[in-house]
Amino acid sequence: MSVNQQAHTGPPYGQPQPGYQGYQQPAYGGQSLPGVPQSQYGAYNGPMPGYQQPVPPQGSLRAPPTSGAPPPASGASHPSGHLAYSPFEHGDVQNGIPASAAPMQRPPASQPFLPGSAPTPVSQISTFQQYGPPPASVQQLRNHMAGMTIGSTAASAPPPAGLGYGVGPSSYPPTTGAPRPPAMPGPPLTGQTVAGPPSSQPNHVSSPPPPSSMAGLHPGTPMSGLHGPPPPTHPPQPGYQMQQNGSFGQMRGPQPNYGGAYPGAPNYGSPPGPPPPPKRLDPDSIPSPIQVIEDDRNNRGSEPFVTGVRGQVPPLVTTNFLVKDQGNASPRYIRCTSYNIPCTSDMAKQSQVPLAAVIKPLATLPPEETLPYLVDHGESGPVRCNRCKAYMCPFMQFIEGGRRFQCCFCSCVTEVPPHYFQHLDHTGKRVDFYDRPELSLGSYEFLATVDYCKNNKFPSPPAFIFMIDVSYNAVKSGLVRLICEELKSLLDYLPREGNMEESAIRVGFVTYNKVLHFYNVKSSLAQPQMMVVSDVADMFVPLLDGFLVNVNESRTVIASLLDQIPEMFADTRETETVFAPVIQAGLEALKAAECAGKLFIFHTSLPIAEAPGKLKNRDDRKLINTDKEKTLFQPQTSFYNNLAKDCVAQGCCVDLFLFPNQYLDVATLGVVPYQTGGSIYKYAYFQLETDQYRFLNDLRRDVQKEVGFDAVMRVRTSTGIRATDFFGAFYMSNTTDVEMAGLDCDKTITVEFKHDDKLSEDSGALLQCALLYTSCAGQRRLRIHNLSLNCCTQLADLYRNCETDTLINYLAKYAYRGVLNSPVKTVRDALINQCAQILACYRKNCASPSSAGQLILPECMKLLPVYLNCVLKSDVLQPGPEVTTDDRAYIRQLVTSMDVAETNVFFYPRLLPLTKADVDSDSLPAAIRNSEERLSKGDIYLLENGLNVFVWVGVSVQQGLIQNLFGVSSFSQISNALSTLPVLENPFSKKVRSIVDMIQGQRSRYMKLIIVKQEDKLEMLFKHFLVEDKSLSGGASYVDFLCHMHKEIRQLLS
Amino acid sequence: MATYLEFIQQNEERDGVRFSWNVWPSSRLEATRMVVPLACLLTPLKERLDLPPVQYEPVLCSRPTCKAVLNPLCQVDYRAKLWACNFCFQRNQFPPAYAGISEVNQPAELMPQFSTIEYIVQRGPQTPLIFLYVVDTCLEEEDLQALKESLQMSLSLLPPDALVGLITFGRMVQVHELSCEGISKSYVFRGTKDLAAKQIQDMLGLSRPAVPMQQGRPLQTPEQPVISSRFLQPVHKIDMNLTDLLGELQRDPWPVTQGKRPLRSTGVALSIAVGLLEGTFPNTGARIMLFTGGPPTQGPGMVVGDELKTPIRSWHDIEKDNARFMKKATKHYETLANRSAANGHCIDIYACALDQTGLLEMKCCANLTGGHMVMGDSFNTSLFKQTFQRVFSKGYNGEFRMAFGANLDVKTSRELKIAGAIGPCISLNAKGPCVSENELGIGGTSQWKICSLDPSTTLAIYFEVVNQHNAPIPQGGRGAVQFVTQYQHSSTQRRIRVTTIARNWADAQTQLQHIEAAFDQEAAAVLMARLGVYRAESEEGPDVLRWLDRQLIRLCQKFGQYNKDDPNSFRLSESFSLYPQFIFHLRRSPFLQVFNNSPDESSYYRHHFARQDLTQSLIMIQPILYAYSFHGPPEPVLLDSSSILPDRILLMDTFFQIVIYLGETIAQWQKAGYQDMPEYENFKHLLQAPLDDAQEILQTRFPMPRYIHTEHGGSQARFLLSKVNPSQTHNNLYAWGQESGAPILTDDVSLQVFMDHLKKLAVSSAS
């Protein structure tokens, strides 16, 4: 969508430009018509006239409203095409509406949209106009939503001064791009005609500039507007959704118009000064993640995603869909930032769109989908290309009657080994095509031969070693007892391969404080034996036989041990701990046992005891926002890097559970877990009552989840591109192989590609990700994922096949790595700059010509600004005062191995109005946008971001609901110390709990449940996650940021 | 001379002292001309059935540099209640308790028959005895089993309140905590890393926190035992636990690949044992008992690498300076031994293996601390089992025959100074007026520490006469020596034994015959042998032999009667007659000859030689040979090849071995089974007799000797053949084919040849 703004340009966000108001005009719907607040408009209006020009038609359709119009102006404005979009409008309106409006109104339901409504409330005003309706529509048709435009507009135009407008404020532009709205769905857009605009870009939203405006205007109008409106107009319309999308964008249609109108633009710049009261860009008119997600869900959730076609963009990660593997890897395994790759590096550079794949090689599949088949090629091992060593895959071309095959990656011709020979049918396909997974599927596994094993020996089954901190804090908090109790039952659930009777994994136990205690739990012993190693300076494993045992054989000894550990240390007074020696001990144990494995370390404090890897407290918040800030993310010593390297070499993966009561230097402690492919879990101020459930759930999941060891991953690509950079939790000893001591089903690796030659449109680009690993039963396997992508010579194709969520995943990881080496500010600026370039490139090359003031976003990337803003505001890049150094380091590492779904919800949390939940169905209530404005005092909301779940209770929630949910009679009695919701027998409670459970089930970690009462202290914390709002730490609100982006883009374009 | 023999014997029985000279030459010059130094063999704790200890403190001379103990040689003024120290002539007041003293009411220490007296003193806290077992687990299954059983058995032999501890080692070293219930707990150390005592204590959690507790809190004496008791517990408390723990001991689990020795961290294990005791029980009686089944192969103190293809060092390697690890290892163990000795703890080494175990390097541990050294082929032999059991044997009064932490203080009258001591002791570096500048053995001090001793532990103490020739001692003057031994009795009492002896001075020029007559050739032989062996530790073998020969020649020149250059005229008086023969056998003994002995064996033999009393030492120098035949009752015979006759059974006792050798005829009879025929019952008895006698020796000897039963032509007969004087060899034709003995296949000279040469050299005017 593009937002058209006019002038805004100049003015940076903040400034409110008076002009803005002007904007309204057009509002689409015209609805606004009514008298609404003209005032605001007023200004605008003036200008409007100019705008309008063209379009008239539809835009106005209904709404003409545009508020602007109100009085006089408005009228005028409408016409303009501008789509109105008036920004302001708060409300809900989305521009999109307009379209709808036009048609039918859109259903209110969802959003605010209201536009249509406009009428009502006055407030809205203006706004939307659709400008561009016309054109837009067209497009829409074509692409669905492709882009939107927000016409911001107006403002500028405005008479008054163009200036005014220019100035920041005005611009709001909200989005609106109405045009397209109609698009698909239902509403045909009537009005719109084609505008012809180029297909490529779809919508533009013209965005009015200055965000700031919000403040000003809104107030009045705000929300209410929204609500109100709906009524009439929109009935629920199907189309709606679409619209939304469309909404923003004003279509391009406008543009044309704009142009004319625009003239004003210039003004922009000037006015900076903008004193004027800001007006605000209507939040409803700017691209809404919620809407996008809903649309995708509705459009693509119903049919299976069949992977047979090259370069198909999969549904969003938020959509539930089934995948049918017909030759390409499921998006659950690989997602790309773009499914259409520029043929040349020049193009790629020009667009600045990063080419990256987010790979989750061992991803868990829903039960309805089949796991990759295991292929055994016997002693000779998998069939591979002679030159590039790519594995046999569906894209290999058999020639000469099947006697040879040509590599799809490097084109080298290789003899088919005799045992693998098969005749070809008349289409050139092997006759056994459907019998062989490696010829017909995108993902499959090979059984590795001994050549693929370390030291040419088949691996032994891996081992799990539990290493428990038994220092004073751990004992006192009850943690030690808790862990021991849990392990007793948990050990029966070690990962098993397929249908094996019992797990092949052996287990070992270590406890430690300043010294380490190993336990001999050999089955022949009557009692476990404890072996204390106090020589932590030079760690070694004191026993061989009896340390790693089979759970079933040593069951009684283990049980006895776990019973005794809490007793033995019950009156310990040791407060100091070591850390590096603990890892070394595990490493040595695995070395001695000659197997790979995983260490589960439960640790409570900064390791200050005299030992290698001893750390000092170097937490210094004063470093924030200085050039030295990066040191907070760097390990204090290189010791752990070396240790990690050794661990990787042995296949020793480290999972770290932290229970800090104070700073413990996650940045340093996390090095080994991070580089070995392990996970870190952190439970600050761990308290048995509130946190045990969460911890135990995490532990259970962590122990049980599918995991591979001693893994090496290599990504091969078609000639022309090359994997150049890797992000995630792993270690690389060379530039191509990603090594992970352990890799579980949640770990994700983001790989960036660069051109080193040209690609051809005909053959497209192929990726083959090969993961060599040892399964939990000790079987050496190769998992292969193949993915074919299209290549394009037109930038528009690139933009049309992008995946914003994936892009954000990449950008976040890229930025999070950047903070290790550059000041955070630099990283942030680079991020903004790159996105601005991406969007500017689109605007320049793909969007139909339109006024410079119009913000035009590609349909596939219309959420880029909002998501990017979330990344920029995240704790790592812009910490609030309550965020500790450890938290930042923790999150930094966490995000680095997240997959797309996790980053998506992490950066843009899911906010569900619980009170709207339908008690009788098992669906979730529709999500709403993350802004305080959307919360109503009378409702209860749930917000989750993958780490935390908040239940926010408004002050005036009905008592009945409170009673039903919390079992207390009044708001004031709700305890925010609750870590779970009370189990109450009533439909509402059940529903809410089932929602919470469902959400917990979707995340790889058990989220901490926090009850937040409105106007309570904790609310601050909660508000931090309302990412569309301005954050306390200085993060911009969505609207402000959008304006800023627009400004950046315009600068790039000019 | 009978009187002198009696005198000597009497003195030995009463005081445990034997002097080389029982009349002392009165000037330095004369003394040096005596060749054999004035010295004595002192058995500080000689068992005295008739010596009831007294229950009070000794009275000391008040002169700070003297502090001699009141003794029968002191002049006492009963009226003034004064006594004069016979060493420094200081006049001292009797303490108040002695107020009632008079000529007729004398305290025991003034009575002449109490020249040796033992005091029991109440001083300091009594700490129980401590036994710390340091056990090698790199053993064959059978060996380990046998060792475990021996150890378990030993628990019942310990005094019930004794503290025991257990350290096991193999590739790692484990210090077992004995106090805990349920789970058995041990501290494990890497076997390759040497740790300072401080580190060890820290790692074992023995070091007390820097600021242990507020001053205000009552002194927590209990705290101390609590800490240390984690590793050292009273036997009666953890008897069962420890028995189980020992029972569960497994062989070192670390795999040993073919062609390798197991990795054995003896050095570190000992270091930890020493560090543990050092930190917890300094200056109390403790025994570290090391049981090892092979050489240390890693870490500090390693003696050989783990590659089986590199054999452990031999004398040949050592001479070629080809023993890579020897110096370092020796240094390691020396350091440990010194530390241990400084704290009064002793280290026993029980090494049982077919190959060497590194005793050469480890010897100082036992040598400096008074610990035992036992060498056997396997723990599963009665040699080890009984020897070990005998460590805990009890004396006539039901007390353990072991004492700890002894401090031997020697005081001399002015004409004498102390040159040094040789024995299982270390110097305490007590300089004083009676310390000579010339050192013999461990010198430069008048006090030594003997960390562990038993009733037979014997030190050689060497003196120097310093009286100048021109300051004659009045006729009848006597020189005196006082030995004050403070020690911890096995009952944990502190005791002090004081022995004061006096000998007459004589002017060697005018009264040489007195001096000559008072020569104790047995003591002299042993004392010279100790010097020789002591030198052999640091000097080349041939040098020592040459020195020994030279001394012998000089002695013969001095005391022989002969005409110059007429060997045939050479005669020695009776008091010297056996001396050359002792030296002859000494020269052939394994103490000075390394040929045919491994370095370990040499160390082992020398160890025992340096601590046994005179009788045993003489046996070691010149083994005893008894003959059994139908010709008469069993009789001692010459240790000579001529004693090996076909119709005799020989019993040889070399101290280390008991050999029963059946002569050719006897062996044939036995094979023919005559002993089973009633009519030849006497033959049966004949066969049985030496066995019974051997058994008697075996009963008392520590360590248990190797028992060898062989016969003419048997391979084991070599033990006998190598010891006897080779008077008949394949070389001397005159004996060949005669029925007078068995020829020995050797090129060694026989005693006869040796004596001939000696005479020749003694009488030669050239020298």
Answer whether residue A97 shows pLDDT above 60.
Answer: no
The mean pLDDT value for A790-807 works out to: 93
Rounded mean pLDDT of chain B?
88
Residue A716's H or E segment, with its range, is strand A707-717
- Nearest residue to B11 via CA among B626, B520, B729, B676: B520
- Nearest residue to B68 via CA among B529, B483, B632: B483
- Nearest residue to A681 via CA among A706, A698, A693: A698
How do residues A274-283 score in pLDDT, each as one tens digit?
A: 344 445 567 7
Q: From CA A794, how far away is CA A444, in angstroms rounded? A: 34
Scanning the structure block, which residue is given the tokens 């040094």? B420
Instruction: Give CA A556 to chain center in angstroms.
Output: 45
How do residues B664-705 score in pLDDT, each as one tens digit?
A: 999 999 999 999 999 999 999 999 999 999 999 988 898 899
How many Cβ atoms sit within 10 Å of the Cβ of residue B739? 6
Please tell me the CATH superfamily of domain B623-724, with its number.
Severin (3.40.20.10)
User: In this predicted structure, what is the pLDDT of residue A24?
Assistant: 39
Token duo for residue B430 = 């007590």
| Contacts with A517 from chain B: Cβ below 8 Å | 185
Instruction: List the single best residue of A484, A519, A540, A594 to mutate versus B (max B Cβ within 10 A).
Output: A540
Token duo for residue A409 = 């990656």
Q: Would you call B650 helix, strand, or coil by DSSP?
A: strand
Closest by Cβ to B183, choosing from A527, A533, A544 = A527
The mean pLDDT value for A782-787 works out to: 95
User: In this predicted structure, what is the pLDDT of residue A978?
Assistant: 83
Mark yes or no for CB contact A534/B195 under 8 Å: no
Residue A873's H or E segment, with its range, is helix A864-873
How do residues B413-457 score in pLDDT, each as one tens digit?
A: 988 999 999 999 999 999 988 999 999 999 999 999 999 999 999
CA-to-CA separations, A406 to A403, A410, A416, B169, B299, in angstroms, rounded: 10, 8, 10, 62, 59
| Contacts with B205 from chain A: Cβ below 8 Å | 515, 534
User: In this predicted structure, what is the pLDDT of residue A215?
Assistant: 35
A404-406 β-sheet, strand order: A397-399, A404-406, A413-415
User: In this predicted structure, what is the pLDDT of residue A164?
Assistant: 31
Nearest-CA distance from B249 to chain A in Å? 11
Instruction: List the single best residue of B137, B181, B186, B194 to mutate versus A (max A Cβ within 10 A).
Output: B186
Q: Would you call B186 helix, strand, or coil by DSSP?
A: strand
CATH number corresponding to B130-206+228-391: 3.40.50.410
- In the CATH scheme, what architecture does the domain B4-54+114-122+400-516 have? Sandwich (2.60)
Instruction: List the single best residue of A512, A529, A541 to mutate versus B (max B Cβ within 10 A).
Output: A529
Answer whether residue A568 shows pLDDT above 70.
Answer: yes
Answer whether residue A204 shows pLDDT above 60.
Answer: no
Q: From CA B506, how far away is CA B474, in angstroms rounded? A: 9
User: In this predicted structure, what is the pLDDT of residue B700?
Assistant: 86
Closest by Cβ to B190, choosing from A535, A561, A564 = A535
The mean pLDDT value for B462-483 works out to: 87
Least confident range of A449-453, B215-219, B442-446: B215-219
User: In this predicted structure, what is the pLDDT of residue A279?
Assistant: 53
How do residues B229-256 score in pLDDT, each as one tens digit?
A: 688 888 888 888 899 889 988 898 888 8
| CATH 1.20.120.730 correct for B520-613+747-766 | yes
* A159 or B31, greater pLDDT: B31
* Helix pair angle (B541-559, B579-588), 10° resolution: 170
Indicate the domain borders of chain B. Answer: 4-54+114-122+400-516, 130-206+228-391, 520-613+747-766, 623-724
Give A382's DSSP letter. S
Mark yes or no for CB contact B190/A538 under 8 Å: yes
Nearest 5°: CA angle at B51, between B45 and B54?
100
Nearest-CA distance from B150 to chain A in Å? 23
Nearest-CA distance from A534 to chain B in Å? 5
Residues in contact with A553: Cβ distance below 8 Å, sequence separation at least 6, in sequence order: A523
Q: From CA A285, how far away is CA A151, in angstroms rounded? A: 10
How do residues A636-645 score in pLDDT, each as one tens digit?
A: 999 999 999 9
User: In this predicted structure, what is the pLDDT of residue A550?
Assistant: 93
User: In this predicted structure, what is the pLDDT of residue A50?
Assistant: 37
Answer whether residue A88 shows pLDDT above 60.
Answer: no
Answer whether residue A619 shows pLDDT above 90.
Answer: no
Mark yes or no for CB contact B189/A533 under 8 Å: yes
Scanning the structure block, which residue is given the tokens 């970690």? A1005
User: In this predicted structure, what is the pLDDT of residue A160?
Assistant: 35
Chain B residues whose C-beta sits inside 8 Å of any chain A C-beta: 172, 174, 177, 180, 182-190, 193, 195, 199, 202-205, 248, 250, 253-255
| Sign of the four-CA dihedral A34, A37, A39, A41 | negative
Residues in contact with B84: Cβ distance below 8 Å, sequence separation at least 6, in sequence order: B74, B75, B76, B77, B90, B91, B92
How do residues B373-405 score in pLDDT, each as one tens digit?
A: 999 999 999 999 999 999 998 887 788 889 998
| Contacts with A518 from chain B: Cβ below 8 Å | 188
Q: 3-state DSSP helix/strand/coil percent for chain A, to nearest 5? A: 35, 15, 50
Least confident range of B130-139, B171-180, B290-299, B570-579: B171-180
Mark yes or no for CB contact B253/A568 under 8 Å: no
Answer whether residue A84 shows pLDDT above 70.
Answer: no
Q: From CA A589, how far away is CA A579, in angstroms rounded? A: 16
| Contacts with A533 from chain B: Cβ below 8 Å | 187-189
Answer whether residue A190 shows pLDDT above 90.
Answer: no
User: In this predicted structure, what is the pLDDT of residue A62?
Assistant: 42
How do residues A952-977 score in pLDDT, each as one tens digit?
A: 999 999 888 899 999 998 888 888 78
Q: What is the pTM of this model?
A: 0.80
User: In this predicted structure, what is the pLDDT of residue A626?
Assistant: 86
Contact at 8 Å (CB) between A6 and A165?
Answer: yes
DSSP annotation string for B673-725? TGGGSGGGHHHHHHHHHHHHHHHHHHHH-SSPPEEEEEETT-GGGHHHHTTSB
The mean pLDDT value for A490-506 works out to: 87
How do residues A416-425 score in pLDDT, each as one tens digit?
A: 999 999 999 9
Closest by Cβ to B204, choosing from A527, A534, A560 = A534
In this structure, which amino acid lies at residue B264? R
Closest by Cβ to A532, choosing from B185, B193, B202 = B185
Answer whether residue A252 shows pLDDT above 50.
Answer: no
| Contacts with A545 from chain B: Cβ below 8 Å | 250, 253
- B-contacting residues of A 516-535, CB under 8 Å? 517-518, 525, 527-535
Residues in contact with A812: Cβ distance below 8 Å, sequence separation at least 6, in sequence order: A871, A874, A895, A903, A907
